[in-house]
């Protein structure tokens, strides 16, 4: 894939993180695009050719990653692509414990506050995942709606073409039937 004529994004991702890249073609003829992920060393990690969607997970090293979208095989139509990059730090256990400095009391109170903080962090994590899932569902909805509108326009166009053809054919038939019963004699008896 030649990324010189394609859309590309370069982003810096720290080491020892996992990331997941998801792509969906939402609109455009064929609903397909070429996609390439390149590591900081220039090595191609993933490449998808003429795919409508994809999901790739990678454990990272420090550096710049290149994400390349190529639509040069389709010179007529443009594409609308949804791209999501989810970063996940596997060392997320290092929670900030600044709140412990402000709490003075018994060990039981400290234990209860830690339980509350664990619950809050769990809820925060789940809400973040819910937002991601809703974003993905919105992307699917947009893709389906664009496809449906495209089909609706195509059906309407061909319905009008068929209606015009039927009107022309019916006009020709009426003319031909009338010409069969028309009296062409000049003298009537």
Model confidence over 32-47: pLDDT tens digits?
Answer: 888 888 888 888 888 8
The mean of the pLDDT values for the chain is 78
Q: Is the pLDDT of residue 167 over 80?
A: yes
Over residues 72-84, the mean pLDDT reads 78
pLDDT for position 5: 53
Q: Grade residue 152 by pLDDT with cuts at 50, 70 and 90.
A: very high
pLDDT at position 125 is: 83
What is the predicted pLDDT for the residue at 67? Answer: 82
Report percent pLDDT > 70 for the chain. Answer: 78
**What integer pLDDT is reported at residue 158 of this predicted model?**
97
Angle at 78 between CA 72 and CA 80, to 5 degrees: 115
| Whole-number Å distance between alpha carbons of 91 and 93 | 5
Q: How confident is the model at residue 173, as a pLDDT?
A: 95
Per-residue model confidence (pLDDT) at position 60? 77
What pLDDT, on a 0 to 100 scale, did the predictor assign at position 4? 54
The pTM is what?
Answer: 0.48
**Can you give the pLDDT at residue 74?**
76
CB burial class (10 A; 0-12, 13-18, 19+) of residue 36? Answer: buried
Average of per-residue pLDDT across 141-160: 90
Q: Which range is most confident: 2-6, 90-94, 141-145?
A: 141-145
Q: Tell me the pLDDT tens digit for each residue of 11-24.
A: 667 767 777 777 77
């Amino acid at each position: 894939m030649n990324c010189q004529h394609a859309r590309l994004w370069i982003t810096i991702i720290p080491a020892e993180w996992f990331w997941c890249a998801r792509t969906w073609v939402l609109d455009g003829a064929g609903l397909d695009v070429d996609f390439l992920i390149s590591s900081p060393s220039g090595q191609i990690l993933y490449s998808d050719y003429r795919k409508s969607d994809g999901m790739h997970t990678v454990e990272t090293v420090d550096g710049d990653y290149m994400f390349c979208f190529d639509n040069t095989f389709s010179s007529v139509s443009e594409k609308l692509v949804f791209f999501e990059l989810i970063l996940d730090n596997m060392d997320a256990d290092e929670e900030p414990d600044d709140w412990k400095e402000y709490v003075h009391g018994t060990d039981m109170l400290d234990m209860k506050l830690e339980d509350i903080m664990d619950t809050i962090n769990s809820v925060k994590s789940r809400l973040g995942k819910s937002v991601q899932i809703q974003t993905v569902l919105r992307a699917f909805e947009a893709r389906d709606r664009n496809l449906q509108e495209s089909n609706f326009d195509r059906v309407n166009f061909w319905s009008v073409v068929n209606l015009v053809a039927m009107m022309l054919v019916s006009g020709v038939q009426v003319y031909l039937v009338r010409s069969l019963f028309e009296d062409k004699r000049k003298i009537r008896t």
